[in-house]
Amino acid sequence: MRTFVAIELEEEVKDALEGAQQQAAELCRKGNYTPKENFHLTLHFLGEIRPEEVDDVVQAMMETTRRNRPFELKLDRLGFFPRGREGILWAGVEKSAPLQRLFQQLEISLGKQGFAREKKGLSPHITLGREVEPYRGFADVQKQVKLENLTVQVKAISLMESVRRGRNLFYRPLFVQPLKDKSFY
């Protein structure tokens, strides 16, 4: 099973991102756009794991969340990872110490369970489209499409499974672990 640990997004945030995605699509020749229901922020890509390893991931998630309180993230810009004339369109996250701490503690906890660290570290973003080719260039899309004060409430982390049905990819939560509530302090 193909899996990753992610922060899921509220419907209002997904709606706003879908609006920005549609605006960007009008400025592009083509693109393979992410369905709204698949919008998420990946914390750690695990790749293929065996069903019996799910308990190890859950254990790491539980250890991580005991050390982290809920927090907010701000989505502050659109960006591209260019690949020639095409690229990956994404919504970027403002720098966040709580997000970095959550990521680092998840890496340590997963490492204790025998999983490899993320090779690239954390590059927090929400993928809006792949193989996106703007008519006039990436900078034009960034100039014309703005994210309006989007805030993500981070209250839990989720173990997600990537499932392919025909040509479509769906992400479904296998396990959701809430962050430690402030009321426990």
* pLDDT tens-place string over residues 4-57: 999 999 999 999 999 999 999 999 999 999 999 999 999 999 999 999 999 999
CA 116, 178, 112 angle in degrees (round to 5)?
Answer: 25
Give the start-to-end residue ranges of the domains of the chain: 2-184
CATH of the domain spanning 2-184, picked from 3.90.1140.10, 3.30.70.3150, 3.30.2320.80, 3.40.50.2300: 3.90.1140.10
pLDDT score, position 174: 96
Predicted TM-score of the model (pTM): 0.92
Burial class (CB in 10 A: 0-12, 13-18, 19+), 17: buried
List, for residues 105-151, the tens digit of each pLDDT value. 999 999 999 999 888 889 899 999 999 999 998 999 999 998 888 99
Instruction: Tell which residue, 5, 41, 29, 31, has the closest CA to residue 126.
Output: 41
List, for residues 48-107, the tens digit of each pLDDT value. 999 999 999 999 999 999 989 999 999 989 999 998 889 999 999 999 999 999 999 999
Instruction: Tell which residue, 136, 146, 133, has the closest CA to residue 20.
Output: 146
pLDDT score, position 182: 58
Residue bearing tokens 């049905």:
165
pLDDT score, position 103: 97
